[in-house]
Amino acid sequence: MAPGHYFWAIFYFACLCSASLANNAKVNFREKEKKILDQILGAGKYDARIRPSGINGTDGPAIVRINLFVRSIMTISDIKMEYSVQLTFREQWLDERLKFDDIGGRLKYLTLTEANRVWMPDLFFSNEKEGHFHNIIMPNVYIRIFPYGSVLYSIRISLTLACPMNLKLYPLDRQVCSLRMASYGWTTADLVFLWKEGDPVQVVKNLHLPRFTLEKFLTDYCNSKTNTGEYSCLKVDLLFKREFSYYLIQIYIPCCMLVIVSWVSFWLDQGAVPARVSLGVTTLLTMATQTSGINASLPPVSYTKAIDVWTGVCLTFVFGALLEFALVNYASRSADRAADMHRENMKKKRRELEQASLDAASDLLDTDSNATFAMLRQCEVHMQAPKRPNCCRSWLAKFPTRKCSRSKRIDVISRITFPLVFALFNLVYWSTYLFREEEEE
């Protein structure tokens, strides 16, 4: 072949290669995507009403794997027994009808935003009270179809879920709040939900809750049987521990202070009636208001809570301090009346003795002096009352109650008895409820 022919052959081959490269460079993968979607989801080619086949194309149930990402937990309400959570919810299943050519690995997946284009599991949240999707700026949902027919559905939702609580140990309690997901219409013969293998639930880092701490979470299955069949169900148990420091500052310490303030009346003079009455009534009303505020933030339950025991005993101590003053006042007035009667009796006896002395002096003139002295000595012996040893009086005599009445001794006893009994109550209370908390844990 002539050299000129070689040149033209090489030139022609180069032109073909450059044209082929130019065609490849101009491939519009978005157009390819459209064609593939029209091919696999076109009219008469795919029916979204029919569920996918089972494993390996069998007639078994379709397997749907679930995983969650907890973005935030907004509120946990004790009075409504509910909690609000925002999460990214994902489902993944295999639908062999959606297989397509990935153009040599260049097309990794197809993306849809319309869930009604493909078959979807009929999952619902069985303990949901309220819920909504997020549509700002666009609906937060997507569907990815992979070349081998796998479908990934992801959506961001906010839910308010029921959380039945046991408040017997409130506020030293732990609560378990569940998130339950189940199939509404498909039985386990057609649809089975499974947790995704390897970390099916993720929680955002630095999750902040005002009065609780998320200690841990557990995944489990909760299939339910009804008259219409057995339905697949998944659940997540979130274990929340209540932060006690808030209640220590807001409830326990103020109640202790009110109880101690009510004891100040024991050191006030028994004659300061307005001061002691004002102090007792004020502390009693403040304690009652505190108790009402605590109960207003909790649901009305039929059992006794730990906080009820605390506020009830503190209210009893404050009321007891007020009753103690009533007893002191009554004892003081009784002592005054007794003292007045005693003074009248002493005056009467003194007059009688004076009269008896005058009579005895006149009789001394006619009788023997020795016999008279013996008779007077015998009268003095009979007039003296017998004294019996009393342990309580001996113990009370040690207190600085000289020149004080019985009412003052009641105050002195109260100064010691009330703090000791309250300290004993604290010991029993904290030992009991902290021990029960460890048992439940």
Sign of the alpha-carbon torsion through 408, 409, 410, 413: positive
| pLDDT tens sequence across 42-99 | 777 888 888 998 887 778 899 999 999 999 998 999 999 999 999 999 999 999 989 9
**Which residues are registered as beta bridge partners of 94?**
150
Q: Is the pLDDT assigned to residue 379 strictly greater than 90?
A: no
CB 191 within 8 A of CB 50: no
- Whose structure tokens read 């007794």? 338
From CA 199, how far away is CA 176, in angstroms rounded? 20
Angle formed by the axes of helices 253-262 and 273-296, nearest 10°: 160
Helix (H, G, I), strand (E, B) or coil at 372: helix
pLDDT, residue 26, reads: 53
Q: What is the CA radius of gyration of the chain?
A: 45
183 CB-near residues (< 8 Å, 6+ apart): 121, 122, 123, 124, 191, 193, 231, 232, 233
197 CB-near residues (< 8 Å, 6+ apart): 65
Which has more confidence, 251 or 407? 251
pLDDT, residue 275, reads: 87
Q: Is the pLDDT assigned to residue 345 strictly greater than 90?
A: no
Q: 403 — alpha (psi -120 to 50), left (phi > 0) or beta?
A: left
C-alpha 258, offset from chain centre: 25
Helix (H, G, I), strand (E, B) or coil at 401: coil
**Which residues are registered as beta bridge partners of 213?**
241
- Whose structure tokens read 């100040």? 264
Q: Is the pLDDT assigned to residue 152 strictly greater than 80?
A: yes
From CA 256, how far away is CA 290, in angstroms rounded? 12
Q: Is the pLDDT assigned to residue 413 strictly greater than 70?
A: yes
Query: 229-231 and 224-226 as β-strands: parallel, antiparallel, unpaired?
Result: antiparallel
Q: Is the pLDDT assigned to residue 27 strictly greater than 70?
A: no
Which has more confidence, 404 or 116? 116
C-alpha dist (Å) from residue 123 to 66, 181, 192, 417: 10, 6, 11, 64
Terminal C-alpha separation, the chain: 94
Question: Amino acid letter at 349?
Answer: K
Identify which of 321, 307, 311 has the alpha carbon closest to the alpha carbon of residue 291. 311
pLDDT mean over 9-38: 61
Angle formed by the axes of helices 273-296 and 306-364, nearest 10°: 160
| pLDDT tens sequence across 116-142 | 889 999 999 999 999 999 988 888 999
| pLDDT tens sequence across 265-314 | 888 887 788 888 889 899 999 999 999 988 888 888 889 999 999 999 99
Q: Show the tokens assigned to 127.
A: 């303990």
Neighbours of 168 (CB within 10 A): 16
C-alpha 244, offset from chain centre: 9
pLDDT mean over 332-352: 65
Average pLDDT, the chain: 82
Of the given ranges (43-52, 377-386, 407-416), which has the lowest mean pLDDT?
377-386
135 CB-near residues (< 8 Å, 6+ apart): none
CB 240 within 8 A of CB 214: yes
C-alpha dist (Å) from residue 421 to 199, 248, 259, 317, 428: 53, 21, 12, 9, 11
Helix (H, G, I), strand (E, B) or coil at 335: helix
Query: 201-203 and 62-77 as β-strands: parallel, antiparallel, unpaired?
Result: parallel
pLDDT mean over 26-35: 72
Total residue count of the chain as it appears in this document: 441
CB 287 within 8 A of CB 261: no
